């Protein structure tokens, strides 16, 4: 595969197949890490209000532009609307706060983070607000259906503030409902996807609707060791003997094998690394291919094992059940 991007529906914007994920990028290091990633060659950066580091990410972007490493139009910036801002009266103010923290005139792709409308939390009470109300210990929902949230997302497009809009952690049923009334079809769906959880039918169906898939957690349990029991007990994909044997055969790293497996399915990936050499390695996945035998070997790893599940975090929300 020589193509390193996908063209999004409606706009035709070229979204890189390999981007840089900003979840769990430490605030004190974020500016330099983003700057380094741009210098290495990353052009897509995937962030969110919930990650709590958009101000620092924006500084890294601004410094790279100032130093002439890139122009704004060379970058593809993704961020997400948090659950507590689904109310139609809060979508724009939440977006504007994020845009200002990033220091950008527009956002390339704005996603609904989860199809979970939670009670609004004012910025001066907590930002980012998290899952609970400040001081609370249970989820408090509000009556903010997606059919009211989505038109507010579309208005951001109409006003030139957002190029593309999309969704994250939605299932087929919720997408069908969205497609029944939307003016602008979602450009992308972002979901957990790795050999332990390939979600083959979801991927095939969504792609058939001309909605592109972005995978998060391409390396499996690594980011969830301290968050869930599954993260602690699952064998790390980066150390799995099946993946190691494929990597050795091709003279590649296990990380490169896992990312290559995704893009061969036309799925974009957003790996994160704080090390420059690993950043380079994660980008180097276009000049070689897996064999049919490799793909069959990887397909045997499917355990239906999900790591990013709110129910596993004790939130009493079996979102994917």
φ and ψ at 66, to 5 degrees?
Answer: -60, -40
For the chain, counts of helices (H) and of strands (E): 11, 10
Question: Do the Cβ atoms of 134 and 188 come closer than 8 Å?
Answer: no
C-alpha to C-alpha distances, 231 to 46, 69, 146, 308, 312, nearest whole angstrom: 22, 37, 31, 9, 10
Burial (CB count <10 Å: 0-12, 13-18, 19+), residue 30: buried
DSSP 8: P
Give the span between the Cα atoms of 261 and 243, in whole angstroms. Answer: 10
> Which of 35, 42, 51, 196 is flagged as catalytic?
51
For the chain, the maximum distance between any two Cα atoms, rounded to a whole number of angstroms, is 55
Question: Do the Cβ atoms of 102 and 77 come closer than 8 Å?
Answer: yes
127 catalytic residue (yes or no): no
Question: Residue 113 annotated as binding?
Answer: yes
Q: Where are the alpha helices (DSSP H) in the chain?
A: 27-40, 54-66, 91-102, 146-158, 172-179, 200-208, 229-233, 241-250, 254-263, 276-283, 292-299
- Encode 44-92 in three state secondary structure: EEECCHHHCCHHHHHHHHHHHHHCCCCCHHHCEEEEEECHHHCCCCCHH
Q: Return binding residues for substrate.
A: 113
Catalytic residues: 51
């Amino acid at each position: 595969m020589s193509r390193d991007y996908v063209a999004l529906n409606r706009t035709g914007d070229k979204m890189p197949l390999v981007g840089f994920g900003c979840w769990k990028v430490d605030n004190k290091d974020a500016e330099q890490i983003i700057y380094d990633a741009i210098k290495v060659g990353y052009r897509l950066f995937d962030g969110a209000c919930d990650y709590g580091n958009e101000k620092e990410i924006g500084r890294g972007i601004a410094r790279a532009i100032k130093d002439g490493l890139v122009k704004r139009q060379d970058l593809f910036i993704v961020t997400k609307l948090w659950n507590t801002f689904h109310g139609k009266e809060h979508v724009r103010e939440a977006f504007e706060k994020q845009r200002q923290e990033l220091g950008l005139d527009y956002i390339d792709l704005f996603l609904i983070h989860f199809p979970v409308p939670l009670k609004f939390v004012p910025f001066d009470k907590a930002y980012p607000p998290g899952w609970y109300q400040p001081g609370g210990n249970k989820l408090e929902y509000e009556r903010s259906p997606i059919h009211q949230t989505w038109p507010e997302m579309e208005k951001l497009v109409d006003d030139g503030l957002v190029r593309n809009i999309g969704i994250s952690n939605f299932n087929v049923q919720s997408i069908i409902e969205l497609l029944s009334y939307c003016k602008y079809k979602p450009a992308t769906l972002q979901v957990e996807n790795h050999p332990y959880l390939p979600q083959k039918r979801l991927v095939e169906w969504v792609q058939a609707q001309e909605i592109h898939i972005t995978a998060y957690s391409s390396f499996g349990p690594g980011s969830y060791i301290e968050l869930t029991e599954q993260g602690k007990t699952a064998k790390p994909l980066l150390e799995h003997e099946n993946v190691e044997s494929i990597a050795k055969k091709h003279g590649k790293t296990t990380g490169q094998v896992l990312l290559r497996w995704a893009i061969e399915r036309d799925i974009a990936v957003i790996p994160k690394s704080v090390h420059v050499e690993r950043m380079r390695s994660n980008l180097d996945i276009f000049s070689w291919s897996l064999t049919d035998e490799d793909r069959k070997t990887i397909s045997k790893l499917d355990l239906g094992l999900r790591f990013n599940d709110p129910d596993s975090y004790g939130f009493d929300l079996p979102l994917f059940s």
